[in-house]
Amino acid sequence: MRFLDVNETICRTLGYTRDELRGRTFMDVTHPDDVELDLDLAGQLFGGEIPRYRLEKRYVTKAGAVVWIDLVSTIIRDEHGEPAYGLGIIEDVTERRRVRDELEQAHEARRDMLKRVVEVAESERRRLAADLHDGPIQRLSALTVRLETARAAAAREDWPACTRALAATQESLQGEVNRLRRLMKDLRPPVLDERGLTVALRGLAQEVRTTSGLRVSVSAPSGNLADLEPERETALYRIAQEALTNVIKHARAREASITVSMDGRTMRIEIADDGRGFDPERIVVADGHFGLVTMRERAEMAGGTLSIETRNGRGTCVRVLVPLSARVERVA
């Protein structure tokens, strides 16, 4: 099935002259993966099984590039009703196909992210249930034994033994309260609700310095930052926390910094260090850098973006951009 004639549009699309295309078959310019289907449909068309067909297929240009076209083929018949020649009408849909593919990829990425969110949530629920069962519930159950000891001592009027049992119980209860507070902080630091993100980040910096010796400075606008939804505040705090954890584990840094700034209706947070840096292309989950994936997922769930600038021996900067909510800004 050779081209008998072509117009200038298909010549521009494929990069051939009209003379070059005349005499070629459509198979000569069809992508190899699409030839079989096109031949089958053309056979049905010329065999009278179908009156026409429409197909989205690929052509290969003279330069070797692939273009997507929307093809409608039909038959022109002679005065006896026999097929005289085929007529093909094409539209270049390469750009439309590119946009569609990008949308499909974006939807697939979104589905993957939502699946990951559900998995993380379920994992956190299981971890929390295990922590409560193996920790507070077990220890609080053990306190009933001490209270029973105190009750028995009181029944026999052994007040020193009763006092000792009650004092031990009180001490254990206070320890349990402290552990539950730490568990609450792991879920969402209360200071976020009480004092806002800036104060929470300063507290995080102090905690890191106390526990690891890493000096962390915090630079943020004076006063309180504009309101963020609680989920976004938590996400930004966790990203900073995870970034500093990575610095402590991997960077061999002496100093780190957290910088918060506002640009119109966008908040920017940068966590930088003076450590050894790394090659992002060589990082895999198995290397213990799963936190990088988690940070990016948190940023995307907050409606923002996360980027990482790093070079071997030159430190690392984690940069997060998130849109601000439409709430009224708080004034200090």
Same domain, residue pair 171 and 223: no
Domain C-terminal end among 164, 187, 210: 187
- Mind listing the pLDDT tens digit for each residue in 230-280? 888 888 998 999 999 999 988 899 999 999 998 878 889 999 999 998 876
Two tokens at 252? Answer: 């061999």
Domain C-terminal end among 187, 215, 232: 187
Same domain, residue pair 108 and 195: no
pLDDT (0 to 100) of residue 152: 92
Residue ranges making up the domain that contains 68 = 8-92
pLDDT (0 to 100) of residue 254: 92
Same domain, residue pair 113 and 182: yes
Q: Residues 6 or more apart from 165 whose CB is under 8 A from it?
A: 146, 147, 149, 150, 153
User: Could you tell me the CATH number of the domain that includes residue 38?
Assistant: 3.30.450.20
212-218 long-range contacts, CB within 8 A, separation 24+ = 212/248, 214/244, 214/247, 214/248, 214/253, 214/254, 214/255, 214/256, 215/254, 215/255, 215/256, 216/244, 216/255, 216/256, 216/257, 216/258, 217/255, 217/256, 217/257, 217/258, 218/257, 218/258, 218/259, 218/260
- Domain membership flag for residue 298: yes
Same domain, residue pair 72 and 130: no
DSSP 64: S
Domain C-terminal end among 92, 125, 148: 92
- Mind listing the pLDDT tens digit for each residue in 294-327? 788 888 888 899 999 988 888 999 999 998 864 4
pLDDT higher than 80, residue 45: yes
pTM, two decimal places: 0.51
pLDDT (0 to 100) of residue 186: 65
User: Could you tell me the CATH number of the domain that includes residue 220?
Assistant: 3.30.565.10
- Domain membership flag for residue 98: no
Distance CA 144, CA 331 (A): 49
- Mind listing the pLDDT tens digit for each residue in 103-144? 898 888 777 777 776 676 677 777 777 777 777 788 888 888
Average pLDDT over every residue of 62-74: 93
Same domain, residue pair 212 and 225: yes
Same domain, residue pair 156 and 85: no
More confident residue, 17 or 226: 17
Same domain, residue pair 178 and 121: yes
Same domain, residue pair 121 and 162: yes
- Domain membership flag for residue 229: yes
Same domain, residue pair 195 and 182: no
Q: What is the mean pLDDT of the chain?
A: 84
- Domain membership flag for residue 266: yes
Asked if 289 and 281 count as a contact pair (C-beta separation under 8 A), the reply is no
- Domain membership flag for residue 171: yes
Q: How many domains does the chain have?
A: 3
Same domain, residue pair 115 and 130: yes
- Domain membership flag for residue 246: yes
- Domain membership flag for residue 207: yes
Distance CA 232, CA 299 (A): 8
Same domain, residue pair 83 and 108: no
- Domain membership flag for residue 208: yes
Average pLDDT over every residue of 165-184: 83
Distance CA 172, CA 145 (A): 12
pLDDT higher than 90, residue 145: no
Same domain, residue pair 208 and 121: no
Helices (H), 133-229: 138-155, 159-187, 190-194, 197-212
Two tokens at 210? Answer: 């106390």
